[in-house]
Amino acid sequence: MELTRIAVIGTGLIGTSVALAMRERGCAVLLGDRDERSLQLAIELGAGTELTPGAPVDLAVLAVPPAAVAATLLDAQKRGLAHFYTDVASVKAMPLVQAMELGCDMTTFVAGHPLAGRERSGPAAARSDLFLGRPWALCPTPQATASAVAAVTALTKACGAEPLTVDAIEHDEAVALVSHGPHVVSAAMAARLAQASGTALGLAGQGVRDVTRIAASDPALWIGILTANAGPVADVLDAVAQDLAVAAAMLRAGTEGDEAVAEVAAGQLADLLGRGNAGRGKIPGKHGGRPSAYAVVSVLIPDRPGELARLFQATGEAGVNIEDLAIEHSPGLPVGVAELSVKPEAAETLAAELRARGWSVPG
C-alpha cells in the first residue's frame, strides 16, 4: 500500500520525525498540535502543512503521550480524519484498553511503537532518519482489518524501520526490560552524581557517561511512560535493586577479615558480573548503531575563535555540502578534530581541497 497523504497529530520528536521521513518519500503530511509554537516550528522545518478540515487522509499518526492516545483516537475518528489510525506511544496495553472502553472503532486502529528516540525532545530535535533500521513494534488486535495493518506496516517501511508484530502485553513487558527499566536505572545512577565533588566529576570517563546518557531525558515525558507501564517496570527495578543490595552486602562482608566469607562474597559478585556479561552478550548487534550513508573526513582544527568559520569557508569553496559534524576536542590541547560527514563520493575531493588550502587532514 502506498501512502500519499497522512496526518500527524503531535509534533514532538517522534511525530515530527515521522512527518519528515514521509515528506522525503513525497507523501503529503498534515500536521496538528495543541501547542501552536511546536506546530509552527515543525512546519518551518518542512515537516508538512497545517491540518485543516478536508477529505480523510490515508493514515493518521497519533504522536501523543500514552495517556492521551485513546481520547485523541476517539476525537479523530469522530471527525473522520483518516481511513486508518496508529499511535507511537511507548506503552501499548493501557492505550488499547482505554480505546476499547471509550468505544473507539478498533477495526481501523493498529497500535504501534517505533523503538527510536533521543535524550532531547521537541520538533527541533527531529530527524527523518530517526527510524532507519530500528524495530517498530505493531500490536494489531483481532478486530483490526487487514487493510489497517497494511497501511500501518507501509508507514513503518516508508520510515525505513523494521516492523515487528507483537502482543501488547508481551510488548510492555519487553520494553520494561529493554527500555523503561534501563531508563530508571540510568537515572538512579546519575542521581548519585548530583552532589558529587569536582574531583569525582573530573575523573568521570566514558563508562559513566554511557551509563547515564539516557538520564538526560525529559522527566515529564518519562513519568507518563513509566506510570502507564508500572507493573512490568516495577518488576525490573525490584530485581535490579535486589542484585545491587546483595552486591553491596557482599562487598562489605568481604572486608570483615574472614577469608572464607570473603571468598563466598567474591563468588557472589563474580556471579553478578558474569550474568551481566551474559545479558550484555544477548543484545543483538544488528541494529547496533545508526546506519551511516556518509563518509567522514577528519580535519585538525586549532582551538581558537574563527577556525570553524575558516573551515566552513573552505568546505563551501570546495563546493561540498556538510551533512553532519562532530568535534572531538581534548581539554587543554591546542588542537581538536572536526569530523565532517559528507556524501561518500565527495570525501576525496573535500580532503584534497582542504589540504590544498593548508588544513591538516590525516589519513
Distance CA 309, CA 306 (A): 5
Closest distance of CB 227 from a second copy, Å: 5
Q: Does residue 175 contact residue 113 with C-beta atoms inside 8 Å?
A: yes
Q: Does residue 46 contact residue 20 with C-beta atoms inside 8 Å?
A: yes
- Which CB sits closer to a second copy, 239 or 356? 239
- Which CB sits closer to a second copy, 1 or 211? 211
Closest distance of CB 66 from a second copy, Å: 13
User: How far from 227 is each of 72, 166, 220, CA to CA, in Å?
Assistant: 19, 21, 11
- Which CB sits closer to a second copy, 98 or 212? 212
Closest distance of CB 211 from a second copy, Å: 4
3-state secondary structure 180-204: HHHHHHHHHHHHHHHHCCHHHHHCC
Closest distance of CB 55 from a second copy, Å: 26
Count of other CB atoms within 10 angstroms of residue 265: 21
- Which CB sits closer to a second copy, 150 or 327? 327
Closest distance of CB 120 from a second copy, Å: 9
DSSP state of 46: T
Closest distance of CB 314 from a second copy, Å: 8
Chain centroid offset of residue 228 CA: 18
Distance CA 226, CA 250 (A): 31
Closest distance of CB 64 from a second copy, Å: 18
Chain centroid offset of residue 153 CA: 19
Closest distance of CB 348 from a second copy, Å: 17
Closest distance of CB 264 from a second copy, Å: 12
Backbone angles phi, psi at 87, to 5 degrees: -125, 180
Instruction: Give the strand order in the sheet containing 111-114.
Output: 111-114, 135-139, 162-165
The answer to whether the Cα torsion of 307, 312, 313, 318 is positive or negative is positive
- Which CB sits closer to a second copy, 75 or 189? 189
- Which CB sits closer to a second copy, 54 or 316? 316
The answer to whether the Cα torsion of 227, 230, 232, 235 is positive or negative is positive
- Which CB sits closer to a second copy, 70 or 76? 70
Reported as half-sphere exposure (CB side, CA atoms, 13 A), residue 122 has a value of 11
Closest distance of CB 158 from a second copy, Å: 13
Chain centroid offset of residue 322 CA: 23
Reported as half-sphere exposure (CB side, CA atoms, 13 A), residue 13 has a value of 17
- Which CB sits closer to a second copy, 49 or 107? 49
- Which CB sits closer to a second copy, 79 or 348? 348
Contacts with 246 (C-beta within 8 Å, 6 or more apart), sequence order: 268, 272
C-alpha cell at 308: 570553524
The C-alpha angle 81, 114, 189, rounded to 5 degrees, equals 130
- Which CB sits closer to a second copy, 7 or 19? 19
